[in-house]
Chain A
């Protein structure tokens, strides 16, 4: 049975204005439906709700603005449907364009930060370990819980902004320490160290994790000394698009898992999966849908948005060569600004890189409509969503293969251990 404080009840009946009241009522109703006993204070929010799916979402945001709603906590914004800071051309029809733009303005008017990125944790928004927050966007949720050790559920449309305005979230799920313990152990110590250290492995492992865990919490044993922040970002994004994963642990790496036993809370795992090279190869094959073809019409990287370190790597691998087909580099303005300051953006664009900023190629129409087109990517999340959202078939490969294929204008494979 949900109990609200006097302050929360006053807010819900309009003490702080109509918009704040609507937000508090939405949070309280969600809490009641989820069986939460109370609301808890949150320290920040990341808002996924400003992506246009239809007019009703715009009207909802504008009603909050008309009611004087303001966010009570720091609230960064996930990608939108338009690209105010970018670069690539977007093919939205006029009505949708107008409603998407109105929606973005409404969220900014409520005091949300115009960060427009799905990697807010690399744009300076990093809640400290143990802090309760209300985040949306599945990859950001899983990074926030797993790598930062802050606590959030997967807050979807409407509830994310309502929590940010109310400064409250329902007390349930991953906010509660007992629900953060792993019940599934994934043992990858049987795979070669070379494979465990390679970038291209992490989206594959994430896909396996997402399918195996569903919405359960897993701990991975065998990645000590192999990971980087960008690899964990790729792992979490793939896991959250292949399953309902909101939190994973990596023994010896992530903050709540000094070792597997701690992540499991001292109990034996309910399930133990020992990964074999055959499992890895099967998951790898599932990431590509284009079949046996060397056709590549475009390359897309940056889901989640590229970090500056990842752009450095692209630039190093291009080594001054021109690209034969477009390479869509999806990133945020937090990365574009330093690139521009260092006069690097123009040179990359002249060589054939197309920067997609504030948005990305699977959430809004950017890729040209072509029959039988093939998109190459190193992102597990793009591999998952591109066929349905863009009509392009997908060929999955490493960052090195993506750059070499963009230079050659056809699929180029490099030697890579998959055992």
Chain B
């Protein structure tokens, strides 16, 4: 079911947006946006996170899990406001608190990345690849 055998992958839309592309940053561990991502730069700052120091801006950010803080939505909104947002989110499970940051960004009229559902096991093969995602939720290697 991965891209190598299928060439394209159709995924569930959690929050819609336009077509997008970017390099896939597939995190290898769950992350808490609050205290884990610098809201001003989009850099991963959690000292214990394997991808510490990587920049989420412009990436297709694949999240195998999220650690819920009720301020995760505020951090994501601040990242978007600072122009350091990912191009899209791929989430193993929908985290309503994190996604609320996208909902509010859209209400503010700011460019808002779309979010799609993709199981963690299917995220891994995409790591480092350049992807395009259609508005309808079809992922292709570019």
Chain A residues within CB distance 8 Å of chain B: 22, 25-26, 29-30, 33-34, 48-49, 53-57, 59-60, 63, 136, 138, 154-159, 244, 388
Contact = CB atoms under 8 A, between A and B. Distances in A.
Chain B interface size, under 10 / 10 to 19 / 20 to 34 / 35 or more: 20 to 34
Interface residue SS majority, chain A: helix
Nearest to B80: A56
Most chain B CB within 10 A, of A29, A30, A56, A155, is at A56
A53 B108 contact: no
Contacts of B69: 156
Interface string B47-87: 00000000000000000000011111111011011100000
A26 B100 contact: yes
Nearest to A388: B35
Interface string B97-133: 1011101100110000000000000000000000000
Contacts of A29: 100, 103
A157 B96 contact: no
B70 A48 contact: yes
A158 B101 CA distance: 8
A157 B97 CA distance: 9
Interface of B: 14, 35, 39-40, 68-75, 77-78, 80-82, 94, 96-97, 99-101, 103-104, 107-108
Contacts of B82: 54
A132 B107 CA distance: 26
Nearest to A141: B70
A22 B70 contact: no
Contact of B94 (A33, A158, A388): A33
Nearest to B105: A56
Contact of B107 (A26, A53, A156, A159): A26
Contacts of A155: 70
A26 B99 CA distance: 11
Given A22-B107, A26-B107, A59-B108, A53 B100 contact: no
B100 A159 contact: yes
Contacts of B80: 56
Contacts of A55: 78, 81
Nearest to B35: A388
Most chain A CB within 10 A, of B35, B70, B73, B78, is at B70
Contact of B74 (A34, A158, A388): A158
A54 B100 contact: no
A85 to B, nearest CB: 25
Closest 8 CB pairs of A and B: A156-B70, A54-B78, A56-B81, A33-B96, A157-B74, A29-B103, A56-B77, A34-B96
B77 A156 contact: no
Contact of B104 (A34, A138, A158): A158
6 contacts: A26-B103, A30-B100, A30-B103, A54-B77, A55-B78, A159-B97
Contacts of A57: 74, 77-78
